[in-house]
Structure 1
Amino acid sequence: MAETISTMQPPADFDQLRSAILERKGDLPKRLAQIAAYALDNPDEIAFGTAASIAAAAGVQPSTLVRFAQHFEMDGFSSLQALFRARLRERTSSYEERLRYLEQGGELAESTAILNGFIGAGHRSLDALGAAVDPEAFERAVRLLAGASTIYLIAKRRSYPISSYMAYAFGKLKVPYQLVGTSAGIDDDLLAMATGKDAAFAVSFSPYASESAVQARAMAARGVPVISLTDSAFSPLAECSTEWFEVVEADHAGFRSLSASMAFAMALTVSIAEQRRRL
């Protein structure tokens, strides 16, 4: 019998590898899935680490890294690491360009370059948003949240501005909500009041806030439906959510804005208010 020859090509860069990982997420063996999750959450560690240190951090054997690379049509660990190092070189070049701007045009050119860089990243994030969100899933999320007695907003660290904005907008739109994350430290007490008639909206991006994941899982375990916004199928929020949405922000010089995430949150907030008006 003729030998089957794979027609798949190895990924040309980090973005292609990331897409391939997400496409095959459901079919990956347990150990390869561990490496996939670790690699997407800690790309710099893959670029700088040794096979032994990366394997230890991911909780696998070093040989599993080779199997992971071969699963995605690469020769071995060195080929895998090369993709992550190339990603870093692309980021580093932006710093070198900024230094050239300083030498050639002074502080104004440097500041203008940074501004233009963030504008460009914002455009890329927003351009990708439409393709990333399933319209039917978005409608289901709106209906679920609009029908809730109270919407609990869960977010920490970089994600907190999103929930803070939604709380402000819900207040203006007269949508009952509870912002989780108080200076009084009574988050658990607030969440304990939620029932199956309520719903939660959770936000977390890599590196994920462990407290947000714990709170979202606790809500789901008690029968409170959770809608989440995150940046990976490997996010801890994805596994406990009724509906979850993946939004990946483009970055400039390693800094990620919230352009697409805020646009999503604004659309969701207004859609919920409009849906409640019709009920």
Structure 2
Amino acid sequence: MSSKTPRPDSFDELCERLARDRETMPKRLAQTATYMFGHPDEVAFGTAATIAQAAGVQPSTLVRFAKAIGFDGFSDLQTLFRERLRDRNQSYEVRLSALDHGSEGDEGRLLLSGFIAAGQDSLARLEQDFDSAAFDRASALLASAETVYLCARRRAFPPLIQMRYAFAKLGIRSEICGSINGIDEDLLAMATRQDAAIFVSFLPYSDQTISMARQLKEQGVPIVSISDSPLSPLVPLSEVCFKLTEADFAGFRTQAAAITLAMALTVAVADKRRRHGPQA
């Protein structure tokens, strides 16, 4: 009798296992994995019936999926999603109270040192996992675009503000989407195959961002994305998807890797256009 698959101890461990094993899963189980990690909040709060309907599978498939990856049943798996949500949603007051201030008068230095260490960790992982070939493909794709559309929401938005500013200074036409002006769909409707887009989204993935990516995919617009997991819903929509791991300090996550990668892409695009023209 074969031994039972070990149960993942954390949401991160679950993500790592599914990223490794999804390609070898039966079609319906892989479909279930893709939905669950694109909609983790819905999985945490939904019922087996509503989740199965949204994922396009039978409720029994959820049970089969859970048992295949080491859980006793779907409710056991759902507990892991709820624990992730609880940890993510702890109040900022709780995060602040968890800080170790050390001796009086050192609070500022300790805070700065903590965030510097987290930023250095994020950048070290970015350098370690850097894919030169993917970076060259992405920068060439963006350099050939007539207009670069920049799309993100919430905490994924800051890297695009930096790109928008730099593109303007470098004479590269871009449009930023995901703001509060409410015209994103109209703006994206003007994008063509001669354009390109950059999307940034991290767990929990913004439904608006993914919807914008699907719209551009249907219009034939090539997409470069920055996300955080091989299970990100941006992966199948993108020509190139960079997967980043951002470190945090006391529950406050840095964006050191995302901002650094975004700036490197911006300058690479400008350099290609300078050397080869817009049709690089």
- When normalised by structure 1's length, the TM-score is 0.77
| Pair 1:20-2:17 in alignment | yes
262-271 or 66-75, larger mean C-alpha shift: 66-75
Q: In the alignment, is the contact (CA less than 8 A) between 1:25 and 1:33 conserved in 2?
A: no
Deviation at 1:36, TM superposition (A): 6.2
Q: In the alignment, is the contact (CA less than 8 A) between 1:156 and 1:204 conserved in 2?
A: yes
CA RMSD of aligned residues (A): 3.7
Residue among 125, 128, 136 paired with 2:125: 128
Deviation at 1:274, TM superposition (A): 0.7
Deviation at 1:168, TM superposition (A): 0.5
Q: In the alignment, is the contact (CA less than 8 A) between 1:152 and 1:201 conserved in 2?
A: yes
The verdict on how the C-alpha distance between 1:147 and 1:43 changes in structure 2, with shifts beyond 3 A counting, is: same
Q: Aligned partners of 2:152 and 2:206: how far apart in 1?
A: 8
Residue among 221, 224, 227 paired with 2:221: 224
Q: Which has the higher contact order (CA 8 A, sep 6+)?
A: 2
| Pair 1:170-2:167 in alignment | yes
Q: Aligned partners of 2:81 and 2:201: how far apart in 1?
A: 26
Tell me which amino acid in the other structure corresponds to 1:258: Q
The verdict on how the C-alpha distance between 1:124 and 1:78 changes in structure 2, with shifts beyond 3 A counting, is: farther
Alignment of 1:65-214 (within 5 A): 67-73=64-70, 81=79, 99=98, 101=100, 105-106=103-104, 108-181=105-178, 184-214=181-211
- Specify the alignment match of 1:59 in structure 2: 52
Q: Aligned partners of 2:195 and 2:164: how far apart in 1?
A: 16
The verdict on how the C-alpha distance between 1:237 and 1:79 changes in structure 2, with shifts beyond 3 A counting, is: closer
Identity %: 39
Deviation at 1:179, TM superposition (A): 1.9
Alignment of 1:38-53 (within 5 A): 38=36, 42=40
Tell me which amino acid in the other structure corresponds to 1:105: S
Q: In the alignment, is the contact (CA less than 8 A) between 2:37 and 2:232 conserved in 1?
A: no
The verdict on how the C-alpha distance between 1:273 and 1:11 changes in structure 2, with shifts beyond 3 A counting, is: same
CA deviation digits over 1:76-103, x for unaligned, max 9?
66875579859978998xx69955835x
Q: Aligned partners of 1:36 and 1:215: how far apart in 2?
A: 18
Q: Aligned partners of 1:180 and 1:145: how far apart in 2?
A: 16
Tell me which amino acid in the other structure corresponds to 1:264: L
Q: Aligned partners of 2:228 and 2:181: how far apart in 1?
A: 29
Q: Aligned partners of 2:181 and 2:38: how far apart in 1?
A: 34
Q: Aligned partners of 2:273 and 2:10: how far apart in 1?
A: 45
Tell me which amino acid in the other structure corresponds to 1:101: D
The verdict on how the C-alpha distance between 1:45 and 1:78 changes in structure 2, with shifts beyond 3 A counting, is: closer
Q: Aligned partners of 1:162 and 1:156: how far apart in 2?
A: 11
- When normalised by structure 2's length, the TM-score is 0.76
21-30 or 146-155, larger mean C-alpha shift: 21-30
Tell me which amino acid in the other structure corresponds to 1:233: P
Q: Aligned partners of 2:11 and 2:131: how far apart in 1?
A: 24
The verdict on how the C-alpha distance between 1:44 and 1:85 changes in structure 2, with shifts beyond 3 A counting, is: farther
Q: Aligned partners of 2:221 and 2:84: how far apart in 1?
A: 43
The verdict on how the C-alpha distance between 1:251 and 1:54 changes in structure 2, with shifts beyond 3 A counting, is: farther
Tell me which amino acid in the other structure corresponds to 2:40: N
Q: Aligned partners of 2:184 and 2:43: how far apart in 1?
A: 33
- Specify the alignment match of 1:34 in structure 2: 32
More helix by proportion, 1 or 2?
1
Q: Aligned partners of 1:207 and 1:83: how far apart in 2?
A: 11
Where 1:235 maps in the other structure, the secondary structure is coil
Q: Aligned partners of 1:185 and 1:36: how far apart in 2?
A: 29
Deviation at 1:124, TM superposition (A): 2.1
Q: Aligned partners of 2:183 and 2:97: how far apart in 1?
A: 45
Q: Aligned partners of 1:105 and 1:140: how far apart in 2?
A: 50
Q: Aligned partners of 1:86 and 1:242: how far apart in 2?
A: 30
